[in-house]
Amino acid sequence: MKQYLKLDEWNIIEEGFDPENHEISESIFSIGNGHMGQRANFEEHYSGRSLQGSYMAGVYYPDKTRVGWWKNGYPEYFAKVLNSTNWIGLDLEFDGVRLDLAQAQVRDFVRTLNMKEGYLKRTFTAVLDGGRELRVEAVRFVSMAEKEIGAIEYRVTPVNVDGTLKLTLYLDADVKNKDSNYDEKFWDAVSEANEDGFASLTVKTKKLDFYVTSSMKCVVTAGGRPVQGTADLLTAEKKVAQVLLVPASRGQEIVIRKYVSNVTSRDYGVAELFETGRKRVEEAAAKGFSLLLQEQAAVWAGKWKESDIVIEGDVAAQQAIRFNIFQLNQTYTGEDERLNIGPKGFTGEKYGGSTYWDTEAYCLPFYLSTAEERIPRNLLVYRYKHLEKAKENARKLGFAKGALYPMVTMNGEECHNEWEITFEEIHRNGAIAYGIFNYVNYTGDKAYWGEYGFEVLVEISRFWEERVHYTPGKDKYVMLGVTGPNEYENNVNNNWYTNRIAVWTMEYTLQVMKELEALDPARLQDLKTKLGLRDEETAKWREIIAKMYYPADDSRGIFLQQDGFLDKELIPVSELDPKHLPLNQKWSWDRILRSCYIKQADVLQGLYFLGHLYDRDTKKRNFDFYEPMTVHESSLSPCVHSILACELGYQEKAYEMYLRTARLDLDNYNNDTEDGCHITSMAGTWMSVVQGFGGLRVQDGVLVLNPFLPGHWSAFSFKTMFRGACLKVEVGNGRVTVTNETAQEVSVRIQGRDRKVAGHGALTETLAGAPV
């Protein structure tokens, strides 16, 4: 836990430079636009500790697997997001002394992430040897309007001395990943171009042959007049640089504008890259920095109009929720169905930038509420496109049929390598099926079933069918040897959540089949033929549905996390000496495993997902049993607890859980923000507000709202898209108001009453007391 950032509603602000915080800030102040992302590394040389990170979405490296002890079935590689060409680089030397904030005395340092308009700004005065002062103001962004463009405006003013400023503006692909398994560099040189005012660099990955061309145009003015003539053009393998010598007079501002395009072979033929990159960057330079920045602000204004959450009376909470929304929008725009959402987005290397079940379980609702329908739909299509790989994955693990989606993937292939997770954390398959339900339930887009969804559902159901088996001793089907979402248990039998989501998948698949039969029988017939779906299979699913074993404790009226859970010593976290926390840093793995403590409570996860199938008392009994043993050492845990707590009327608990998720990175809660921000859990924070405090659900095609106002806030409001409409929900002053920002009438079930909100109309109700 580290709190060094200033509270502000629209900005993240760091005042004063402390090298100890720099890597954390590099994560937090990251910028991105879905196509690329950039950690808040300094443009100028910095010799202190830093994690360099320039990332291109979808460009990855299959880094050969490294393990202590090989297990049969491990994947050959771990797909890693690549640290790519450093395109921000801009070195300054003032009369022979290089500007380096690790060496200079730094005054008046302010770093600001302007979330409203989407740029990073940094101002400081550096005092070089002999007291020579340079005032710097640097602004940069990656454009949401022109996805391949990044732009930097870097202003330098000698405060108290004249001299010569030597500028080196460069592109450098001689970079590496800090987390490279075998300490290799991942890039090979392809070509360089370097001419007065323009340079270009093409590199390719050592494996998989991703090509990336970075091109730059630089415009320098001194005292408002263009600086002409490059002193030197330096070209080396994987590096191009341009050197300018600029006479610098005291008080006179030198402005460097660096425009960069980053284009990749994912979007263009290799032969087109150079010309495309050049064209893009020339267009950007012609447009100029100010106009590009105006466009940027305009796109962000649109994003905020769709997705902003306003919290009144709590600046820390307001800043936090906007930070989370900002980062989510920076990470995934939904424009490219080949992409997905990595746990660290573009803010770090860790977890490889790959896709986890986080997408379906936590991120999907955010995009359902805040983006056009095609955007969450693309997240689902991504999995459809990986279906063949998921089937191959199941075959590799010995299954005769069905599909097992990977735990971690970049291209559909598994790349995780801990047996207890890779092979056993198969509940992920259920989340992928649930994502389809969630999307269709929210949007009403039943066409998705016939187009993509049904095939995925059938293959997942087939996997479950083979993965369970009948055991005569119980006269039931069981599922042995799994790891549930609670990763503080490994290799358990009959994890309730996994058993339940498996059966639910089969139930939903059968339901979809029935609906398709009515909606589009010809398409269903085509699909059944394509899939070779036999009646014996669906009959088997029905049998499994009827005879699945669910561990439970009838005396307590709860579901059991897994077989044997009640044999554990059940001691609430509150009775544990806090010196033992966090368990994952203080306890050896076996001690965690055999304890009752829960990383994230998967019974509660199941009751959240399938909330429409369980009554409030069941939820309450299970919440009351599991919540006290949950240590929330997954960033994905508190949001679900917060939402359930809201539903159950546990207001203080709900707010406590909200706080654990909302400022996770801003306050470096888990002491790991330097590795990158927890992007996917940010979606969970959003859920805590909208589904938790807002009580938003969709049931039977109706938008349900059951809001309550946390005692610490005076009011809050959020937007949500729903089936073509956009609604604003405001909660405060004892009232809840729903405003329809679109023309079409919308049905809502607010505080239990069915109402209609007319096009461009609004309705207001008195805020009910929270349920007791």
Q: How far is the CB of 570 from a second copy (least distance, A)?
A: 9
Residue 49 DSSP one-character state: S
Q: Which residues contact 569 (CB under 8 A, 6 or more apart)?
A: 595, 596
Which of 182/226 has CB closer to a second copy? 182
Q: How far apart are CA 705 and CA 690, in angstroms?
A: 9
Is residue 693 within 8 A of residue 709, CB to CB? The reply is: yes
Is residue 649 within 8 A of residue 771, CB to CB? The reply is: yes
Classify 158 as helix, strand or coil: strand
How many other CB atoms are found less than 10 A from the CB of residue 113? 24
DSSP H or E segment with residue 298: helix 289-307
Tokens representing 21 are 């915080």
Q: How far apart are CA 382 and CA 395, in angstroms?
A: 21
Q: How far is the CB of 425 from a second copy (least distance, A)?
A: 10
Classify 676 as helix, strand or coil: coil
**582 prior amide bond cis, ω within 30:** yes
Which of 254/479 has CB closer to a second copy? 479
Q: How far apart are CA 59 and CA 53, in angstroms?
A: 13
Q: How far is the CB of 549 from a second copy (least distance, A)?
A: 9
Q: How far apart are CA 363 and CA 307, in angstroms?
A: 14
Which of 385/621 has CB closer to a second copy? 621
Is residue 657 within 8 A of residue 292, CB to CB? The reply is: no
Q: How far is the CB of 388 from a second copy (least distance, A)?
A: 19
Tokens representing 295 are 């466009």
Which of 475/536 has CB closer to a second copy? 475
Which of 109/419 has CB closer to a second copy? 419
Which of 545/593 has CB closer to a second copy? 593
Q: How far apart are CA 158 and CA 357, in angstroms?
A: 52
- How would you class 131 by CB atoms within 10 Å of its CB: exposed for 0-12, middle for 13-18, buried for 19 or more? exposed
Is 360 noted as a catalytic residue in this protein?
no
Question: Residue 72 carries which side chain, given as an amino acid letter?
Answer: N
Residue 33 DSSP one-character state: -
Which of 141/565 has CB closer to a second copy? 565
Phi, psi for 408 (deg, rounded to 5): -140, 130
Q: How far apart are CA 494 and CA 497, in angstroms?
A: 8
Tokens representing 247 are 């006479």
Q: How far is the CB of 181 from a second copy (least distance, A)?
A: 9
Q: In the complex, which residues of this chain contact a second copy (CB under 8 A)?
A: 65-69, 71-73, 396-398, 417-420, 423-424, 469, 471, 473-474, 478, 480-481, 490-493, 563-564, 566-569, 584-591, 593-594
Which of 69/578 has CB closer to a second copy? 69
Classify 74 as helix, strand or coil: coil
Going by C-alpha positions, the residue among 174, 148, 152, 346 that lies closest to residue 263 is 148
Residues 575-578: contacts with CB under 8 Å, at least 24 apart: none
Tokens representing 219 are 């415009």
How many other CB atoms are found less than 10 A from the CB of residue 587? 16
Q: How far apart are CA 549 and CA 474, in angstroms?
A: 8
Is residue 47 within 8 A of residue 103, CB to CB? The reply is: yes
Chain centroid to CA 511 = 31
Which of 174/563 has CB closer to a second copy? 563
Which of 263/592 has CB closer to a second copy? 592
Residue 521 DSSP one-character state: H
Q: How far apart are CA 136 and CA 154, in angstroms?
A: 7
Of the residues 93, 413, 487, 627, which is catalytic?
A: 487
Q: Which residues contact 657 (CB under 8 A, 6 or more apart)?
A: 632, 638, 639, 641, 642, 645, 688
Q: How far apart are CA 649 and CA 631, in angstroms?
A: 21
Number of continuous H segments (helices) and E segments (strands) in the chain: 22, 34
Q: How far apart are CA 730 and CA 738, in angstroms?
A: 6
Which of 543/563 has CB closer to a second copy? 563
Where helices occur in 446-580 by DSSP H, the ranges are: 447-448, 454-467, 496-519, 521-531, 535-547
Which of 178/338 has CB closer to a second copy? 178
Mind telling me the catalytic residues? 487
